[in-house]
Chain A
Amino acid sequence: MSKATNSTEFRTVDVDAYDEDNYEDDAREANSGSQEVTERAGEVKKLLNLTKNTDALKLALQNPPIGHQDASVKEQNYETVLSVLKAFRTPEIEAAVGDLSDGDVDVLMKYLYKGFSCSPDKAAALLLWHEKVVKRGGVGCVIRVMVDRKGI
């Protein structure tokens, strides 16, 4: 038996890169908006200090950097949202979710799922949010997380 047979290196080859017919997503959005994310983080912090949690949540979910090329920008906005979510006490969650617009609910759900994958240690707290968001937005907003290709 040849030595090459034992090689498993071929498994790491990205075969899709060699497929001419492979579907490519549309060009990603421009590399701007990082400043906006930083500014928003500051304002959200201010609102949290004033214990205006619901306002902070609404602001944190505005205009997320969807499909941004720089992962650190997405990460920063995710941290902002997460800091808001942590500020809420359990009984306040339902009212806060009820106050959000339909679009905000979709965005919030995307951040919850990002939370499940990025920080599984916080999943218990996020599941409390998840329950209320499903109650508000139905399974539709879960589906929209599943089909989202750009990433938040």
Chain B
Amino acid sequence: MPQQKPQSAQQLFYEPISGHAFNADLTQIVVSNSTPHTHVMKRGADGKYTEGHVLEQHLERVTSVDWAPTSNRIVTCAGDRNAYVWNFEQESGTWIPCLVLLRINRAATTVRWSPAEDRFAVGSGARLLSVCYFDPENNWWVSKHIKKPIRSTILSVDWHPSNHLIAVGSCDFKCRVFSAALKEMSDKPQTSLWMPKLSKFGTLLAEFDSNNGWVHGVKFSPSGNLLAWVAHDSSVNLVNSNSLEKVHTVLTSNLPYMCLLWLSEGSFVTAGHNMSPDLYYASEDGVTFGAKLDVKKEKAASGNMSAMARFQKLDVQGKAETEGTTLETTHANCITEIRAMESANNKVTKFSTSGKDGKVVIWDTESICSAIAGLKI
């Protein structure tokens, strides 16, 4: 069996990809390519995804997509301030849209299904979070708003594994945790370190200041005890629910990260403007940088350059060493989303990234670990 490559890229579009998500068995991917259309693509025998269905209903650019793996439903949200839930109808073989009443007056920016898949959250430029659930009496999706104290556009949302808590990262430089327990769904939330006493829907449970950066991405760890977020001041932040006042921050020397994904309880991957996924370790003491995961291709050995060639180069380019014009990362532009694909023993073994270069890249953590000496996830 040939050794699997650490990463495999596919150029799905030439437009920026605003979001992607997989179905339960990874045979299909839903991708929005910054147009009003959303593409559901099927995986072929060669592992490449090719065009299947096109979901046409939005009037403006689709900004985010999510696929509920168990109930097999897709949700999309767009700049036209609407969201649609798509159900696959077996008889006709088509995706049937269902409008969601978001009641917002600015573009929707991000959407995520809750772990139980009975509700989803939509962040928007209207400075509020819409938590949507299905109302069987009227046969539509209705939304409840969390307004206070969000003061700017929401850029990212993430659900706690308990299904009753939600983390929100926004443009007002804050990362917040809210209660999302709905009495309409007869929720019975459990008290936890995040929610010391039972709190009703929309209660602000925690608020973290993120220096000066817009919070681009926020994620709970698999257990839900840790919360990490990345912001536009190139920072990576971590907080443990048992000491909420202590925020661990690493101000990196890279360009800002846009998104992150927990690989295990002790490590997560971040990616963004520097075009490569980076590994970070989370521990009691804080966050530490692990490694750059985009394994560089072997450079062609330049060998010994003759003195004449060296001076010639120096003369033409005005510097002794050149970084060259060849791109050393798999992605050719900013990475905007990371998704987990496969897990084993509570560790993500395969994840995917998509970005503004129109590529979706699938990363295999085991072969990355074998390619980088001493790397553990």
Contacts and interface: CB of A to CB of B under 8 A. Distances in A.
Interface of A: 21, 23-24, 102, 106, 137-141, 143-144, 147-150
Interface stretch (B75-83, B250-258, B333-341, B343-351): B250-258
B255 A140 contact: yes
Interface residues on B, range: 10 to 19
A106 to B, nearest CB: 7
A44 B316 CA distance: 44
A143 B151 contact: no
B171 A23 contact: yes
B325 to A, nearest CB: 19
B151 to A, nearest CB: 6
B37 interface: no
Interface in B118-174: 127, 151-152, 171-172
Contacts of A150: 212
A102 B249 CA distance: 12
A135 to B, nearest CB: 10
A71 to B, nearest CB: 20
Interface of B: 127, 151-152, 171-172, 212-214, 232-234, 251-256
Contacts of B255: 139-140, 143
A139 B254 contact: yes
B233 A138 contact: no
A148 B254 CA distance: 16
A144 B151 contact: no
Nearest to A136: B253
Contacts of B233: 143-144, 147
A140 B252 contact: yes
A32 B256 CA distance: 33
Given A24-B151, A140-B254, 8 more contacts: A138-B252, A140-B234, A140-B251, A140-B252, A144-B233, A147-B232, A148-B212, A149-B212
A23 B149 CA distance: 12
10 contacts: A23-B152, A24-B151, A106-B251, A138-B252, A139-B254, A140-B234, A143-B232, A143-B256, A147-B214, A149-B212
Among all A-B residue pairs, the 5 with the closest Cβ atoms: A138-B253, A140-B234, A140-B253, A147-B212, A143-B234
Contacts of A141: 251, 253
Contacts of B172: 23
B254 A144 contact: no
Contacts of B212: 144, 147-150
B152 A144 contact: no
